[in-house]
Structure 1
Amino acid sequence: MPQEQEEEGKKKRGFFGKLVKGLTKTRNNILGGVDQVLSSFTKIDEDFYEELEEALIVADLGVNTAMTIIEDLREKVKENKIKDTAGVRELLMEELKELMKNEDDLYEFTEKKSVVLVIGVNGVGKTTTIGKLANQYKQKGKKVILAAADTFRAAAIDQLAEWSNRAGVELISQQENSDPGAVVFDAVQAAKAREADLLICDTAGRLHNKKNLMEELRKIFKIINREYPEAHKEVLLVLDSTTGQNALQQAKQFKDIADITGIVLTKLDGTAKGGIAVAIQTELNIPVKYIGVGEGIDDMQQFNSEEFVSALFEE
């Protein structure tokens, strides 16, 4: 096995270990309730399904998602003629994997010249996410440029500058309070001139002032489409998983503003609310593309539904 593949394998195993550890609180939250229901019922009846649904709702999967899961479980229990509750646990795992399954072409933007717009409210780990992505793709031999288009917060520009230094990538920025559109314009020209593989743009996260944010994003999209029509466009929404159902509400609001192509879920390691990942993917039909389980530069990886569910059930 070539050394590169071996290294990659080690990294993956390392990340899976972190995932299992990081999802401890979520696992206890989801499985604690689920296993309690499974062990306290001997037969599969209406009461059983009701209790199980409640356990899923409590575990931050949300009402709609819990109802969807229970409906599917009923069908499959009938189909497979399952009589004992232990068999339901297996089915639940399969059901979650199915719900979380992503298409194969989700990361095509990393294979072609792309502009990645990163959106999300302040404090969710947006700038850190950009730094980690930049670092990851730089390590893979990609030419990455960052654009500091969140000109509203002085700290955002400084923070991004720090990450660009750490990752060893170029940053295009202007003064605080300058026009975000102008920053993106400059960054697009730089990306084209230097033949960058990825241009990653930070944006302001003022959801309470939705109208301004919409205008700002619309202007940014217009500039990118006009100046760089051939680039693949990606819009990643960063959500803080510790906020649970609130993250789902944010996602709904941002979905009204922008055409989101993927979700980045941060801070999964410190929360019992990781079940929100299932709710977001199921209810909004937006794929979770990256998850973060720690502070380290390598603690964010592409999302893998098999691994996520296996880590939840500690298989």
Structure 2
Amino acid sequence: MAFWSKKKADDPDTSQAGLFDKFRKSLTKTSQVLNTDIRDLFKNDGRLVEDEFLGELFARLVRTDMGAGPAGRIRDDVATKFRGRKVEMEDILATIRDQVEAMLTQESAELSMADEGPTVILVVGVNGSGKTTSIAKLANRLTQEGNRVVLGAGDTFRAAAVEQLTIWSQRIGCEIVTGKPESDPASVAFATVQKAVDDNFDVAIVDTAGRLQTQTHLMQQLDKIRRVIGKPVPSAPHEVLLVLDATAGQNAISQARGFSEAAGCTGIVLSKLDGSAKGGVVIPIREQFELPVKFIGLGEGIDDMAAFDAPMFSQALFSDSLGKPE
């Protein structure tokens, strides 16, 4: 069951133009850093591509937190195409855009849905990553597409998280399963999935307590949660989504490493992209862990979440300098 097939064609928010504008606005800070830095490399009559220029270009690319590896490959591509030639800024930006798109291209951003019975989605991440809000956005998106959704408030050690998720569930119109304060998170996860089975829900989304990837005992707790939700639905979880805060920059990479190993992550939700100048971090995350970026947060509103689209992402980064895609 792929919920994308239910998308309403007449919904203006789902139009390509409207979606592109959301991508562009959310990437404003990253785009400004990247475009301004590269613009500063040029004079009115262009710039000769030689070692000094290539070194300066590399340093500016690294500032977006894309990492030395991707920045180095972009620099080398520019050198191969243009070394010894005088180029204009637009030539360099177009080359970078094409390279970014190639690096971010992935097979699919669609969720893996159960062939029958409820689809179970486990959501993990560090404290403050935007996990609870991302769950609400995802639940809202799924509900609008016609799915019956139940949430599991598995962050039982933080009352504010349970309260926040409960409020979101009421606004969205989906159900929620909660437990007693400081109760076993695995019991809440189990109860949520069991309710999804008993009451014929399409999707169960289970929240987990925020934790650092270095907290071994808490990471082991995730393994327990995975085991118990597999009892009522043997194929569960169908997705383990890791929420990463785009403003964390390179720190997000160590988070991705710890969680992908301990929780068996299947995809990434990149949150707070609109508040970050470090949107380039999505590139090394994609390359190092080969985890698909499923969704990105495009703002603070409940509807501000989109499926990741590599061409749209790369176009949006350079739209102010190269124009919108046709």
- TM-score where L is the length of structure 1: 0.90
Q: Runs of 5+ in structure 1 lacking a partner?
A: none
Identity value in percent: 41
Q: Is 1:230 the counterpart of 2:235 in the alignment?
A: yes
CA distance in 1 between partners of 2:236 and 2:62 (Å): 41
1:24 aligns with 2:28: yes
2:111 touches 2:294 (CA, 8 Å); kept in 1? no
Distance 1:282 1:32, change over 3 A: farther
CA distance, structure 1, for counterparts of residue 146 and residue 80 of structure 2:
48
- Map of 1:282-297 to 2, 5 A cutoff? 282-297=287-302
Deviates more, 1:201-210 or 1:35-44: 35-44
Match of 1:67 in 2: 72
Q: Which residue of 1 aligns with 2:104?
A: 100
Larger deviation, residues 162-171 vs 206-215: 206-215
Q: What is the CA distance between 1:295 and its match in structure 2?
A: 1.1
TM-score normalised per structure 2: 0.87
RMSD between aligned residues: 2.4
Alignment partners' CA distance in 1, 2:47 and 2:260: 43
Work out which of the residue numbers 95, 101, 108 in structure 2 matches 1:91: 95
Give the secondary-structure state (helix, strand or coil) at the position aligned to 1:5: coil
Larger mean CA deviation between 255-264 and 292-301 belongs to: 255-264
Q: Distance in 1 between matches of 2:198 and 2:85?
A: 62
Q: 1:225, 1:73 → 2: CA distance?
A: 49
Work out the CA distance in 1 between the residues paired with 2:32 and 2:110. Answer: 31
Report the CA distance between 1:57 and its aligned residue: 0.8
1:162, 1:257 → 2: CA distance? 30
Amino acid at match of 1:35: R
Alpha-carbon offset, residue 271 of structure 1: 1.9
Tell me the alpha carbon deviations over residues 213-235 of structure 1, each in whole angstroms, 9 at most, x when there is no partner.
Answer: 22111101111233311346111
What residue is the counterpart of 1:15 in the other structure?
19
Q: Judge conservation of contact 2:47–2:86 (CA < 8 Å) in 1.
A: no
In the other structure, the counterpart of 1:241 is: 246
Corresponding residue of 1:36: 40
Structure 2, unaligned runs of 5 or more: 1-6
Return closer, same or farther for 1:183/1:202 CA change in 2, 3 Å cut-off: same
Note if 1:198 corresponds to 2:200: no
Shift of 1:68: 3.1
**2:215 alignment partner, SS class:** helix
Tell me how far apart the structure 2 counterparts of residues 75 and 215 of structure 1 sit (CA, whole Å). Answer: 48
> What count of residue pairs does the alignment treat as equivalent?
310
